[in-house]
Structure formats: C-alpha cells, structure tokens
Amino acid sequence: MLPRRTFLRRAAAMAAVLGLDPARLLRAADPTAAPISQPLSSGARFKSGHMLATWNHGIASNEEGWRQMQAGGTALDAVVEGTAVVESDPTGSSVGLGGRPDRDGKVTLDACVMNAAGDAGGVCFLEDIEHPVRVARAVMEDTPHVLLAGQGARDFAIAKGFKTRDLLTEDSRKAWEEWKKSAEYKPIINIENHDTIGMLAQDLEGNLAGACTTSGLAFKLRGRVGDSPIIGAGLFVDNEVGACTATGLGEAVMKTLGSFLVVELMRQGASPAEACLEATQRIAARMPVEDLQVGYLAMDISGRAGAHAIHGGFNYARTLGQRTQLIDAPSLD
Ligand code: ASP
C-alpha cells in the first residue's frame, strides 16, 4: 500500500495528465479524501452529447434526443421528446399507446422526469393520455407538486390541452382476453415483454436530465403503481454526480430505492457500471430473484456509462455525439 501522501501526490499528477480536476480523481479513488456529501467537481464535465435509453426502442428515443440537442434543446427536451416517440409506438407493449392493460382491461400509465436543477415531476395511474411523460414535465414546470395521480392527473392533463384517446390497441385487447382465460392472478413481469423506456441525457452544456415512462406490469391489479413515476426508484438525477433509471419489476426497485442508490454510490466514487452492479446485488440479497428481472442504467457527469441486470437479456442504446450502439448489459446470472 502507498503512504497516503505519496498516493495523493501521484493521484494529483495523474489528474493533471488526464486534464481532470485532482480533487475529483482523489475523491473517486480514495474515499477518505473528501466527505461523500460534497458534490463532484464539474471540471471533468462531458459536453458532447450523451444519451442512454433502455431496450431496443432506446435507439429511436436517442435519435430524437439527438435531434433535439442539435436544434438547441436541453437534456430535458431530449429525454421528454425522445421517450414520447416510444409512447406513440403501438408496437411497444409496456409503454403508452399499445401498453398492456391492467387486470380490468384498462391501460394505466406512469411517468416521471427530472432536470438538472433537481426539479422533478410525475404522473401515475393516468388514463387516456398518450404522452404521460409530457404531462410529467408539465407537473414539474407548472405546479408546485411532484406527483399527480389518477383522475386528478387526467384532469390536469386535459386542462393543459392534452387530448384524450383510447390507448387499448387490438393487439393489447387480444392479449388481455387470452390472459383472462387463466384463473390465476399473476401479472406478467417484463422479462420478455420489455419496452418500458428510461432515458438519461447529458446535453451540449454538460447538464443532465432523465425521464421514465411505462404502462407497468401487464395485467396488474387495478390501481397498482410501480417504480417508474417514483423519484429515486425508477429515476434519479443529480447534476453534480450522474443519473440512473430502472426497468423491470417495480416492486423490487421500490423496496431498495434503486436509482437513488446508484447515484449515491457514484457520488462515493463508484463507476456507473459498479454502482448498477451493487444495486442489483442489493435486490438479490433481499429477495428471491428467479422470477424477477430488474435492470439499471446509469451515466456520470464525465461521460461514463454502465448498466447491470439481475438476468441476461437487458439491453440499452447508447449515443455519444452522433454514434449510437445497442449494448447488452451484464447480469448476475
Ligand atoms: N418498472 C415497470 C413497473 O414496474 C415495468 C417495467 O419496467 O417493465 O411498472
């Protein structure tokens, strides 16, 4: 082990070579270097456009996000309009239009957003509105509240000019009819049926934002709300550290406050990949995970990305500047 003084000197020299703020590198490498509650320095903030979005549909979200940034939009514009693209896609069976209904055949939607200032907005148990993510943004920007639910959220959306429409597609209705044939109550976890969109962006100014939108578990109990609209569970953004979003069984994410956990681990020096791994391990240590899937996706302010899932099969789209890749996340399997 190096004496602490030598360690500090070498770390500072390395930081200078890498063009990083030495304090930040020290904090990342040596937990005793500074109190963990202090924000990371913004010296190494990435400013070339960075986006992450869950699942294959994340490609379309990131493409729209990039268009927003090119037109001068912020990270918030990128994530809201990026995820709205998938909300309108009738083939996405766990988000927006075409989302699978609850046990009673009604499509109910959850979404939230968070911006670089730490403001947050969300809606849950929202019916008949195609773009819950845009309503979540309106809750954040136009009310003093964070979360509106059910009929109140619907009334708010209509008052803001959102149009109502039936979100139950013919495909979704057929899937629900089929599901009803089985007498057992068992909502379907999105291991196969995965389109919930969580999206994180860092814009050309280096600021972060995130959005998460879903129709939740297929055939859930009426009134069930998952992690996706809950700040700290399905999404968390700290503009001095990084951002995280979750997909999969919301109950497991809520019991461990996963996205907040990931951001706090990054604040303490973990990379996005290490933090996502730790958050999945936290779930596995607390409950049986054979039948549940959760995936975490995170970025930090220096442009690093990482993800981890309990089981294989979770993938995400990463866009850096104009380049987009679809990446398979590692898993605990
Ligand atoms: N997390 C969502 C929920 O539990 C579902 C999903 O991501 O597939 O409502």
Considering the segment(s) 34-328 as one domain, its CATH architecture is 4-Layer Sandwich (3.60)
> Does 30 have pLDDT greater than 90?
no
**Which residues neighbour 2 within 8 Å (Cβ) at sequence distance 6 or greater?**
10
Predicted pLDDT at 29:
38
Predicted pLDDT at 235:
98
Pairing of β 50-54 and β 109-114? unpaired
Q: Which of 125, 212, 222, 227 to mutate to test ligand 1, by most ligand atoms within 8 A of the CB atom?
A: 227
> Does 43 have pLDDT greater than 80?
no
Pairing of β 147-149 and β 120-126? parallel
Domain ranges (residues) in the chain: 1-33, 34-328
pLDDT: which is higher, 237 or 16: 237
Q: Which of 95, 230, 249 to mutate to test ligand 1, by most ligand atoms within 8 A of the CB atom?
A: 249
Share of the chain above pLDDT 70, in %: 83
Q: Kindly report which listed range (14-18, 38-42, 200-204, 275-279) carries the lowest average pLDDT score.
A: 14-18
pLDDT-derived band at 185, boundaries 50, 70, 90: low
Predicted pLDDT at 247:
96
Predicted pLDDT at 173:
81
The whole-angstrom separation of Cα 95 and Cα 196 is 6
What is the average per-residue pLDDT within 97-119? 92
Q: Kindly report which listed range (22-31, 106-115, 133-142, 191-200) carries the lowest average pLDDT score.
A: 22-31
* Closest CA to ligand 1's atom 8: 248
- State pTM to two decimals: 0.85
What is the average per-residue pLDDT within 121-133? 97
pLDDT: which is higher, 300 or 92: 300
196 is an active site residue: yes
* Average pLDDT score, the chain: 86
> Does 1 have pLDDT greater than 70?
no
Which residues form the pocket of ligand 1, taking CB atoms under 6 Å from any ligand atom? Answer: 94, 190, 194, 196, 214, 216-217, 226-228, 247-250
The whole-angstrom separation of Cα 87 and Cα 26 is 42
State pLDDT tens for residues 221-255: 999 999 999 999 999 999 999 999 999 999 999 99
